[in-house]
Amino acid sequence: MTLIIEPEQGAAVKQRNKNFINGSKKVFIESYGCQMNFSDSEIVASIMEKDGFSITKQYKEADLILINTCSIRENAEQKVRNRLKTYNGLKEKKPETIIGVLGCMAERLKAQLLVEESLVDIVAGPDSYRDLPNLVSEVLDGRKAVNVILSKEETYADIRPVRLSSNGVTSFISIMRGCDNMCTFCVVPFTRGRERSRNPVSIVNEAQDLYNKGYREVTLLGQNVDSYLWYPGGGLKKEFSSLSAEEQKESVNFAQLIERVAKIHPDLRIRFSTSHPKDMTDEVLHTMAKYKNLCNYIHLPIQSGSSSILAKMNRGYSREWYMERIKSIREIIPDCGISADIISGFCSETGIDHKETISLMNMVKYNFAYMFKYSERPKTLAERKYEDDVDEETKSSRLSEIIALQQKHSLELHRQRIGQICEVLIEGVSKRSADALFGRNTQNSVVIFPKGKLKAGNYVHVKITDCTSATLIGEVV
């Protein structure tokens, strides 16, 4: 279903039609935000290729420019607006160019982007990518078009993504869509809709296909992978106890899914993101411990070390619950790398709350972390219910302290690796030097080593000889 804007007239429409009739259709796709957005862009590329478009890496030669967007923080949206201004500068010289916005920002700002600011011709939400060829047709008829209807069933399970900017070694597989966790700071449930899981057979088939094509690592993606639950009939997520006896018998949870993918081949590494502390089970951890190719790495966001702030965030767990999960990880997977998301300056955060975050970081000692100061997002519960009452200077000061501590912990943990030998999957040439290669160990740390005659896709054993807070440095043994 599309919402049609008033028709556009003139030479630009005629030139568009001429380009498209002549079969010279080229699409440029740019992505911002989380791994899920980059994965979605590969689905979009597949849909557009099937409609006769060729993919170009040069936006100036494109007939259709699509930008896949993120709304998680204000600066992410500002980056997109700046890019749209660049693309509209091109459109002044080449009026027949079609510009479209996809993803979370499209869902949130549809009217502004289309009408008030007139920056784009197409707006498509995360569940409407199959409709893109129809939306393009509406623009070819001189109209602007939007489809941001959220689906209760769409998982794009039958679409084989086109791997964009691929290194041929690592890739993403989307296993579920949407989110049912109403964290008060987060806009994702409003932009991506309800949670639903993809058929496990299609996931295993996609992973098998990637392995057959030479890929050696896949990352299974979802807003909350631990709540993955597929059952016959599918649709929206249900609690396991609410399934019928037959559905329970044939259902597949996340632990069972990663085991199926792990069994494809021992040389295919499996990672996943993102885990949720309230849903991660020991069953998942024991499955990880059972298979060597299930990487010893978990991204387990904490957001805050204060139980009172976690309650205000509606995270569904306390500081104590989180530390119990960390304890289980350490016991079941002793050498597991752990990373986190941390927010400084959430509504009402006091100095004591901040110190609790610092103390939790000192207890866990994350391998690395994604750290941000709180950015109020429109339409979230926090925006409606709480006052954003921590000033920017305090937010920045607390964030600086968090970043400095994390760098200290990352360096400390990396120094402990010096002298050890680790298995590394080579991903490509290092940015530091054309004579060096880089890859990652099972804990997800980047490892750099001399190139020699090795190539991407190989597994090698590297003895760690030096490090920085961000990188391990070694030599092949």
Query: Looking at residue 306, what is its pLDDT?
Result: 98
From residue 133, give the alpha-carbon distance in Å to each of 25, 44, 255, 305.
12, 10, 37, 46
pLDDT of residue 248: 82
| pLDDT score for 70 | 78
- Cα(170)–Cα(64) distance, integer angstroms: 28
Please give the pLDDT value at position 105: 79
Question: What does the pLDDT read at residue 119?
Answer: 83
Across 156-186, b (16+ Cβ under 10 Å) vs e yields bbebebbbbeeeebbbbbbbbbbbebebbbb
pLDDT of residue 2: 46
What is the SS3 string spanning the chain? CCEECCCCCCHHHHHHHHHHHCCCCEEEEEECCCHHHHHHHHHHHHHHHHCCCEECCCHHHCCEEEEEECCCCHHHHHHHHHHHHHHHHHHHHCCCCEEEEEEHHHHHCHHHHHHHCCCCCEEECCCCHHHHHHHHHHHHCCCCEEECCCCCCCCCCCCCCCCCCCCCCEEEEECEECCCCCCCCCCHHHHHCCCEECCHHHHHHHHHHHHHCCCCEEEEECCCHHHCEECCCCCECCCHHHCCHHHHHHCEEHHHHHHHHHCCCCCCEEEEECCCCCCCCHHHHHHHHHCCCECCEEECCCECCCHHHHHHHCCCCCHHHHHHHHHHHHHHCCCCEEEEEEEECCCCCCHHHHHHHHHHHHHHCCCEEEEEECCCCCCCHHHHHCCCCCCHHHHHHHHHHHHHHHHHHHHHHHHCCCCCEEEEEEEEECCCCCCEEEEECCCCCEEEEECCCCCCCCEEEEEEEEECCCEEEEEEC
The pLDDT value recorded for residue 23 is 61
Structure tokens given for 228: 């993955």
| Cα distance between residue 431 and residue 446, in whole Å | 12
pLDDT at 116: 60
Closest CA to 248 of 265, 234, 231: 231
> Model confidence over 317-367: pLDDT tens digits?
999 999 999 999 999 999 999 999 999 999 999 999 999 999 999 999 999
Query: Which residues of the chain register pLDDT less than 50?
Result: 1-7
pTM (2 d.p.): 0.89
Domains in the chain with CATH codes: 3-147 (3.40.50.12160), 166-295 (3.30.750.210), 421-476 (2.40.50.140)
